[in-house]
A and B are shown apart, each in its own frame.
Chain A
Amino acid sequence: MSRRFFLLASSLMVLMTEAASRGAWAQSHSSPLPAPEARRNFLACPIVQDTPTVPCWLAEYHGELYFLGIQTDSAGWSPPYLGHRVLVEGALAGGLRICGGIPLTSKYPASPIPSGKANGRPLPNPPVVSVMRELDSSCNELRAADPQFQIEGRRGPGPNVPSAGFGPSTAAPLDLKPPFASRTFTLTYEFDSEFAARTIGEALRAVQYAQAAGAKRMTIIGYRGATLLSDGRVLREIEPIGRLRAEELGAAIRKIGVPASTELSVRWESEARKPDGVTDPERRRAEILVQP
């Protein structure tokens, strides 16, 4: 396999995602599935379903098994952990079951490179998953490999192919030419996490912008979020998470290097806004406001 394969696969992925939204994934031999726009937000133990290649990640909700994604690599989707419950926020992707589960998806791309294929078809973009902070020893189900599940991961369980490691940056190029206006850089987080694992690059961009603009002020604001679950309950993040996000991000920005002329301040909100069950992942965030 080559890099060209992955570029091709990436293009196919876009096409198939669009096709999926029109219901083109439905197959004659598959059982009817709920409408694609249906949401599934729930807390559950993740399940590992092994395959002859890389394992699948599943979760059960209200007696139904859902497919979350496959093991990929550290540049791709971040699968859950056994030993912890997982918060799943997604929508039905449509199409065939994968590894026995109904596939879920989200509009938030986990990686610029698709995870792989199931039975020859590109995998949907995964749902948003968040590993809960505390241990739960009841989450410990690893199912033996089933040869009927044919998964082709973009990285298998062994060594990588030469050029598949890290995809291109998805961030838009930063315009560092004057005139400079106030600008906000937003980092999103997993539920209850203060680590901006996927979005920390925005901190570097914010500093670069502040340096170019000779910013007078950088203000970091940490927010606390909540999620509306499909059963109607509201799951709120831990109370200090806004502070933890703001302080963590402030420390990172100081370490990257705040321009000498820039005053850096850090604040946070401790109250979570009312969740809607759709855009909740976007509200688990911190903002960096750069003011020239």
Chain B
Amino acid sequence: MVAPRAVAALIVTAAAGALGLYSHNAAAADEAGSSSSGATSGPYWRSAGEGGVLPTLARYADAWGQIEVLNAGGPIDTRGNPFFEPLGTNGRACVTCHQPASGMGLSVESIRRRWQETGGKDPLFAAIDGSNCPNLPQDRASSHSLLLERGLFRVSLPWPRTRAPDGTPMEPEFSIEVIRDPTGCNTDPTYGLHAASPRISVYRRPRVVANLKYVALDAGGEIFGGGGAFNAKRLGMVMDRDPETGRYMSMNIMSDARTATLKIQATEAAHDHLETRSPPSAEQLRQIVAFESQVFAGQGVDRVGDDFSAPLMPPALGARNLQSSPSGVLGDNFGRPVFKSFDAWKANANDEKSAPAAFRASAMRGYDLFFNRPFWIRDTVHINTVGLGNPAKRTCVTCHNLQMVGTDASAGWVDLGTTNEPWAGEPLDSPSSPAKSPLPLFKVVCKPSARPHPFLGRVIYTHDPGRALISGRCFDVGSIVMGQLRGLSARAPYFSNGSAEDLRALVDFYDRRFNIGLSQQERTDLVNFMSVL
């Protein structure tokens, strides 16, 4: 395998310039050496175990400019660092799915490029979860179609679940029937729901391993002044704890909140994704968590060349501001806005007719829409059900409220509708329609004594039951922990199931879901705003 270190990151997707405003050339990114910001440019891909140094600040071209990755602890010698070394049997390391050039996530563009360059031999495409199902012929691209088309990895979970993550016995409130199984894995006699050790396969995007001081929060110390034991959402739910410290955690790390701490996540990921034969050592876990806790990622340069480390730039932008800002700040208010102020760009708008000034003005309008424009938020579990009523007239920041990253300050699983019908937007099976969803479809039936899903009732059709696969509750079917909004430009597609291929598709989903009525200009403004985060 040849590590393409000499190839600079020039991942310019068709999305760049798709709005037709500018002809910015993302290839203008540094190819070698340092820029005026002190950043060095980096490769689009880091292979497990290849060694080398990850610099303090590195930039990588992305669809909207350059993403930057900051190691707050200084340069990282990746040789021997367990985040970068293959720990298991399939040749992968943590970095395989959390690439610096993708803002410590993984863009589908880089996945496709890796397939082309390695003929599908990279450990990224390991049968266990880098293919639609391990029982498929692994040399065919079609067996990895969900990864190649949507950036989705197979997540295999025991079902029916008999114990909660803390070991407490539990009995799910619902049954699951497979309605459609395009990957074959959920009906497979070895891997499926009727196997000797039954499991369910759902397909999800990798989460971002950066800016984690905002995500892996101690709920007792940093949220709402130490809210502590209970979810701020109104179900009276007790938060999961860090088993080592006993502290209550914010439960925002995973899409289904199944691991309370980074250490537990690393241990599980080593088994599930790296196929280790034994758990990582205590020292390896310490090093992994130490690396993850000091790495920050955000857009560093926008599509018109603004360098966010320069003077007169908005104070929330860029990786260094992510490093220096306090965590646990509720940003749904005028006093401490979620992405602080963009007013610096107003003062910097010398030539309002120039393309850069027009772009900045558009991004500022987008932020204003995000922060201030009310719309009817409706039928959204863990938003409308937390004391707001259904519907609630609110803005984006009601849910995306944690300052600097735009996650939810409380345990952030929400049924936005991305995985549940009727909102999921996946093609429905119809004899008259040639379109077929590549995702499985499950029929969830709630038991009579269970509290049903508040807005879908007792029978739910879903592509991923989400949090409900861990909690066992009908109430939670389709709820997914929202992801952070930083570094978006480097890691399309979006949503846990990769159903929004770019930022425009993401905005369009919200407009359809909540009937917001955004104009074309407003959609462009929101896209430009999100591209600079």
Chain A residues packing against B (C-beta within 8 Å): 48, 50, 54-55, 57, 71-84, 131, 133-135, 142, 157-166, 193-201, 203-204, 238, 240, 244, 248, 251-252, 254-256
Contact = CB atoms under 8 A, between A and B. Distances in A.
A105 to B, nearest CB: 18
Nearest to B375: A157
A113 B396 CA distance: 24
Contacts of A248: 236
Given A74-B388, A78-B389, A81-B454, A159 B371 contact: yes
Nearest to A137: B457
Nearest to B395: A158
Nearest to B338: A159
Nearest to A74: B387
> Which of B166, B374, B394 gathers most chain A CB within 10 Å?
B394
Contacts of B332: 159-160
Given A80-B389, A82-B391, A254-B168, A133 B451 contact: yes
Contacts of B302: none
Contacts of A161: 333-335
A74 to B, nearest CB: 4
Interface stretch (B74-82, B88-96, B224-232, B516-524): B224-232
Contacts of A54: 393
Contacts of B31: none
A101 to B, nearest CB: 15
B251 to A, nearest CB: 13
Contacts of B449: 238, 240, 244
A162 B403 CA distance: 13
13 contacts: A57-B389, A71-B389, A81-B385, A133-B452, A135-B455, A135-B457, A158-B371, A161-B335, A162-B334, A166-B224, A248-B236, A252-B238, A256-B229
Nearest to A255: B238
Interface string B226-257: 00011011111110000000000000000000
B378 interface: yes
Given A57-B389, A71-B392, A160-B332, A81 B236 contact: no
Interface string B505-517: 0000000000000
Nearest to B454: A81
> Which of B232, B234, B384, B452 gathers most chain A CB within 10 Å?
B234
B109 interface: no
B404 interface: no
Contact of A256 (B238, B336, B374, B387): B238
A233 to B, nearest CB: 23
B79 to A, nearest CB: 42
B195 interface: no
B379 interface: yes
Contacts of A55: 393
B454 A84 contact: yes
Nearest to B232: A74
> Which of B333, B372, B387, B449 gathers most chain A CB within 10 Å?
B387
B337 interface: yes
Contacts of A157: 374, 393-395
Given A161-B333, A161-B334, 9 more contacts: A55-B393, A78-B389, A79-B389, A81-B390, A135-B457, A166-B224, A240-B449, A252-B236, A255-B168
Given A74-B386, A81-B390, A135-B452, A201 B230 contact: yes
A289 to B, nearest CB: 19
Contacts of A48: 391
Contacts of A160: 332-334
B152 interface: no
A76 B387 contact: yes
Nearest to B453: A135
A73 B388 contact: yes
Given A160-B332, A162-B336, A244-B449, A78 B234 contact: yes
Given A81-B384, A161-B334, A255 B166 contact: yes
Contact of B229 (A79, A134, A204): A204
B397 interface: yes
> Which of A50, A81, A135, A256 gathers most chain B CB within 10 Å?
A81
A193 B451 contact: yes
Given A54-B393, A157-B393, A196 B236 contact: yes
B395 A162 contact: no
A129 B235 CA distance: 16
B68 to A, nearest CB: 28
Contacts of A252: 236-238
Contacts of A158: 371-372, 374, 394-395
B11 interface: no
Contacts of A238: 449
A77 B392 CA distance: 13
A78 B376 CA distance: 17
Interface in B434-466: 449, 451-452, 454-455, 457
A134 B457 contact: yes
A94 B326 CA distance: 48
B330 interface: yes
Contacts of A201: 230
A74 B234 CA distance: 8
Contact of B395 (A159, A195, A255, A256): A159
A71 B337 contact: no
A142 B375 CA distance: 13
A75 B232 CA distance: 9
B518 to A, nearest CB: 17
Contacts of B379: 83
A68 to B, nearest CB: 10
Contact of A162 (B166, B335, B392, B393): B335
Given A83-B455, A134-B457, A244-B449, A71 B333 contact: no
B49 to A, nearest CB: 41
Contacts of B394: 157-158
Contacts of A251: 168
> Which of B372, B389, B392, B451 gathers most chain A CB within 10 Å?
B389
Contact of B391 (A78, A142, A204, A244): A142
A54 B391 CA distance: 11
Contact of B233 (A74, A163, A193, A198): A74
Contacts of A83: 379, 390, 454-455
Interface string B351-377: 000000000000000000001101010
